[in-house]
């Protein structure tokens, strides 16, 4: 089997795992019910570290597309997941490609986490929340009341994005980073050429 075919097979396996994990989403305590957590960034981050940032991006894109048949948000939730996921794995994968050490991996994941939180804040401010307010007919007050159980109850759009969405994306990226950090070394040999 040629190396290109091996890479495609590995990326396909990671995509399949990411899709399964994305379907296993669940709510987190204290977060609004419309924010559901999943571990689907872990296979994408592994792909970005093992095969480069383009592989990680393709895994994120494929899992988002394959989740569309069960969307409850007219695809907007998948778009948000796509934006933050691509930002996270591309940033982390690009930095790790420059320095493939444990310290490099930590730096890459921390930078990816910060980039994911920033991209999520911008996407929610400019795309996601305006869509829900205009197209879906939600009021800002409705969304704020859904987030009122959060440990820092938001009082407006800015605090909603900062307290809820930024915190959610930071937790999601940090969890994916921690899992990847713990398992990557053990499975990285499976991605070496000829393996």
Q: Looking at the chain, how many residues does it have?
A: 195
Nearest to 88 by CA among 111, 68, 54, 122: 111
Which letter does DSSP use for residue 30 in this model? Answer: T
Per-residue CA distances from 138 to 32, 70, 133, 154, 179 (Å): 15, 21, 5, 16, 36
Ranges of residues in the chain whose predicted pLDDT is under 50: none
Q: Please give the pLDDT value at position 194.
A: 55
Q: Tell me the per-residue pLDDT of 143-154, one tens digit each, with 9 for 90 and over.
A: 999 888 877 889
Q: Tell me the per-residue pLDDT of 113-163, one tens digit each, with 9 for 90 and over.
A: 999 999 999 999 998 899 888 877 889 999 999 888 877 889 999 999 999
Q: Please give the pLDDT value at position 3.
A: 77
Q: Which fold has domain 3-24+39-187?
A: Arp2/3 complex 21 kDa subunit ARPC3 (1.10.1760)
Q: 3-state SS of the chain: helix, strand, coil percent to 5?
A: 75, 0, 20
Nearest to 92 by CA among 156, 47, 32, 131: 47
Tokens of 154: 């938001």
Q: Please give the pLDDT value at position 14.
A: 96
Contact 92, 107 (CB under 8 A): no
Angle between helices 53-67 and 41-51 (to 10 degrees): 150
Contact 41, 60 (CB under 8 A): yes
Q: Please give the pLDDT value at position 195.
A: 53
Q: Please give the pLDDT value at position 56.
A: 97
Q: How many angstroms separate the CA atoms of 42 and 17, rounded?
A: 9
Nearest to 120 by CA among 193, 71, 172: 172
Q: Please give the pLDDT value at position 85.
A: 97
Three-state SS letters, 139-182? CHHHHHHHCCCCCCCCCCHHHHHHHHHHHHHHHHHHHHHHHHHH
């Amino acid at each position: 089997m040629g190396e290109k075919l091996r890479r495609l097979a590995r990326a396909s396996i990671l995509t399949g795992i990411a899709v399964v994990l994305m379907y296993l989403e669940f709510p987190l305590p204290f977060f609004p019910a419309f924010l559901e957590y999943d571990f689907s960034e872990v296979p994408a981050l592994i792909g970005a570290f093992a095969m480069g940032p383009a592989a990680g991006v393709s895994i994120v894109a494929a899992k988002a597309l394959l989740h569309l048949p069960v969307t409850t948000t007219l695809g907007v939730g998948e778009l948000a997941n796509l934006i933050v996921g691509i930002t996270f794995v591309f940033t982390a994968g690009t930095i790790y490609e420059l320095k493939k050490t444990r310290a490099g991996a930590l730096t890459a994941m921390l930078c990816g986490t910060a980039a994911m939180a920033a991209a999520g804040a911008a996407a929610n401010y400019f795309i996601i929340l305006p869509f829900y307010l205009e197209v879906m007919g939600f009021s800002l007050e409705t969304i704020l009341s859904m987030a009122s159980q959060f440990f820092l109850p938001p009082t407006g759009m800015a605090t909603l994005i900062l307290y809820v969405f930024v915190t959610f994306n930071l937790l999601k990226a940090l969890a994916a980073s921690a899992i990847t950090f713990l398992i990557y070394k053990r499975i990285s040999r499976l991605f070496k050429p000829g393996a």
